[in-house]
Chain A
Amino acid sequence: MKLARDTWLTFQYEAGQLVHNPVSVAVSLLQPITYLLFFTPFLKSVMGASSYGDAYRIYVPSLFVAMGLYSGLFAGFALLAAIRQGVITRFRVTPLSRVGLLLGTELMWVVLVGFQAVIVTVVAFIFGMRLPLISLLLALLLLAMMVLIGVSLSYFLALFVPNQSLLGNLINAVATPIGLLAGILIPLSVAPLWLRDVALWNPFAWAANGMRAIFGGHAGAQVVWEGGVILAGLAAMAVVASSRLFTREIS
């Protein structure tokens, strides 16, 4: 009960900080929108999609996975900045539970990335993508779990490597192969067999397959449930492990 309340309080504070900074929220939309507008035409040509609607149905799920994955990159930086500026220290003297502090911040990232995903979907909708509302909700659910994994992983790394430039390179070095092997640029379905075999070990590849099936209109397909179960398990593990580390390092 106390944990839920502390999580909510921290979430409110963090979300409030975000609302006070609309410019940075808008700027964070630049990169996904750029890829949406300038990469989809390339993909349409090489994947032989007959319309932009089809091309967006292939690319938007990839973009969701990329956003879920890379959100972690920024989360770790923000945590380091908060530690350096003494925000975390000031929270430590309050009776707030440490785990609630972490969970509230993670939830804020879920909401932020979810908001970005909705904007991306609206832009894609304008350019011809059509999707049942229930499928979008299911996709957002998968995305939320991906964000939890990404942010937890990034906090984990940030607490171990409290150096900004090293952390940036490290997170890139982790996220880039995971992202490429999940087919976030060119879908794995056209990849050589050996690459698809390697990708079997990449949970985000399963997530991307599930996400793509949802956008393809097969929300009930087996691959969707497989992706969901894998992500749920991983998200639970990542959140527990990172809150343990956080509690130990911070308090």
Chain B
Amino acid sequence: MKLARDTWLTFQYEAGQLSRRPLAIAIALLQPATYLLIFTPLLKSVLHVSSYSGAFRIYVPSLFCWMGLFSGLFAGVTLLAAMREGVIARFRVTPLSRVGLLLGRELTYVLLIGFQAVVMSVLALAFGLRVPPANFLLALILLAMMVLVGVSISFALALLVPNETAIVNLTNGLAQPLALLAGVLIPLSVAPLWVRDVALGDPFAWAANGMRTIFAGHIGAQVVWEAGVILAGLSVIAVVLSSRLFAREIA
């Protein structure tokens, strides 16, 4: 109960901080929007999709995975900045639970990325994407779990390696191969067999497959549930481990 309340309090504070910087939120939308508008036509040609609607159905789920994965990259850097500026130290003297402090921050990222995903979907909708609301909600749930995994890993890295340049390089070095192997640019379905075999070890590849199946309209397909179970398990492990580490390092 106290944990839920502390999480909510932290979330309110962080979300409030975020909403006071609408320019930063808008600028963060530029990169995914650029990919959505310029990369989709290229993908449409190269995959021989007949309509833009079909092309967006292939690329939007990839973009969701991309955003989920790389959100982590910024999260760790932001945590480091908050530690350096003494924000975390000031929270430490309050009776707030340490885990609540971490979970509230993670929820803020879930909200932020969820918002970006909605904006991207609306943009794609204007260019012909059609997806039933239930499928879209399910996709957002998968995305939320991906963000939890990404942010938790990034927080853990930031606590273990408190150096900004090192953390950016490390996260990039981890996220790029995971993302490429998940087929966030060109779908895995057209990749050579050996790449698909390697990708079996990449949980985000399972997530991307599930996500793409949802957008294709097969909400009950086995791959969707597989993705959901893998992500749920991973996000529980990641959140528990990172909050333990956070409680130990910060308290």
A9 CB–B CB distance under 8 Å: no
Q: How far is A53 from B24 in the complex, measured between Cα atoms in Å?
A: 43
Tell me whether B27 and A170 are in contact (CB under 8 A): yes
**Of the residues A34, A38, A166, A177, contact of B27 by C-beta under 8 Å:** A166
Known: A30-B169, A169-B27, A183-B42. 14 other contacts (CB 8 A): A35-B180, A38-B181, A42-B191, A46-B47, A166-B27, A169-B31, A170-B27, A172-B31, A177-B34, A180-B42, A186-B186, A192-B45, A195-B38, A195-B42
* Chain A to chain B: the 3 pairs with minimum beta-carbon distance, closest first: A38-B180, A42-B186, A186-B42
Task: Assess the B42–A191 pair: CB atoms within 8 A.
Answer: yes
How many angstroms between the C-alpha atoms of A165 and B185 in the bound complex? 25
Which residues of the partner chain A approach B194 to less than 8 Å between Cβ atoms? 41
Please, which residue of chain B has its CB at the minimum distance from the CB of A195? B41
In the complex with contacts A39-B185, A180-B35, A45-B42 CB distance below 8 A: no
Interface-located stretch among B10-18, B85-93, B129-137, B171-179: B171-179
CB distance B176 to A35 under 8 Å? yes
Q: Which of B45, B172, B181 is A30 in contact with, Cβ under 8 Å?
A: B172
Interface residues of B, Cβ cutoff 8 Å to A:
24, 27-28, 30-31, 34-35, 38-39, 41-47, 165, 169, 172-173, 176-177, 180-181, 183, 185-186, 190-192, 194-195
- Known A-B contacts A30-B172, A177-B34; A190 and B181 likewise in contact (beta carbons under 8 Å): no
Could you tell me the distance in whole angstroms from the C-beta of B124 to the nearest C-beta in chain A? 16
- 5 inter-chain pairs at a CB distance below 8 angstroms, sorted by A residue, are A38-B180, A42-B185, A169-B31, A194-B41, A195-B42
Q: How far is the CA of A57 from the CA of B120 in the complex (A)?
A: 34
With both chains docked as a complex, state the minimum distance between the C-beta of B161 and any C-beta of chain A, in angstroms: 12
Interface size of A in residues (CB-CB distance below 8 Å): 34
Indicate which residue in A169, A181, A191, A192 contacts B30 across the interface (CB closer than 8 Å).
Answer: A169
> What chain A residues lie within 8 Å of B192 (beta carbons)?
41, 44-45
| Residues A185 and B172 in contact, CB atoms below 8 Å apart | no
How many angstroms from the CA of A44 to the CA of B191 in the assembled complex?
A: 8
Name, among A38, A173, A177, A194, the residue most crowded by chain B CB atoms within 10 Å (CB to CB): A38
Chain A residues positioned under 8 Å from B185 (CB to CB) = 39, 42, 185
B90–chain A nearest beta-carbon distance, Å? 21
Determine if B195 and A180 form an interchain contact, defined as CB atoms under 8 angstroms apart: no
- Report which of A27, A35, A45, A190 forms a contact with B169, defined as CB distance below 8 A: A27
Question: Does the CB pair A45–B172 fall under 8 Å?
Answer: no
B68 to chain A, nearest CB (A): 18
Question: B residues within 8 A CB of A31?
Answer: 172-173, 176
B39 cross-chain contacts in A, Cβ below 8 A: 180, 185-186
Does A47 sit at the interface, judged by CB under 8 A? yes
Tell whether A34 pairs with B173 under 8 Å between CB atoms, given A42-B185, A45-B191, A180-B34. yes
Cβ–Cβ contact A38 & B177, under 8 A:
yes
Expressed in whole angstroms, the Cα–Cα distance for A176 and B177 within the complex equals: 19
Give the one of B39, B44, B45 with max A CB within 10 A: B45
Selected from A28, A46, A192, A195, the residue in CB contact (under 8 A) with B186 is: A46
- A190, B47: Cα distance in complex, Å: 10
Residues in A neighbouring B186, C-beta threshold 8 A = 39, 42-43, 45-46, 186
Whether A185 contacts B195 in the complex (CB less than 8 A), given A30-B169, A46-B47, A180-B35, comes out as no
Nearest-CB residue, chain B, relative to A183:
B42
In the assembled complex, which residues on chain A have CB atoms less than 8 Å from the CB atom of B46? 46-47, 186, 190
In Å, the complex CA distance between A177 and B37 comes to 9
Complex contacts, B43 vs chain A, CB 8 Å = 186
CA–CA, A27 and B163, complex, Å? 14
**Smallest distance from the beta carbon of A148 to chain B beta carbons, Å?**
24
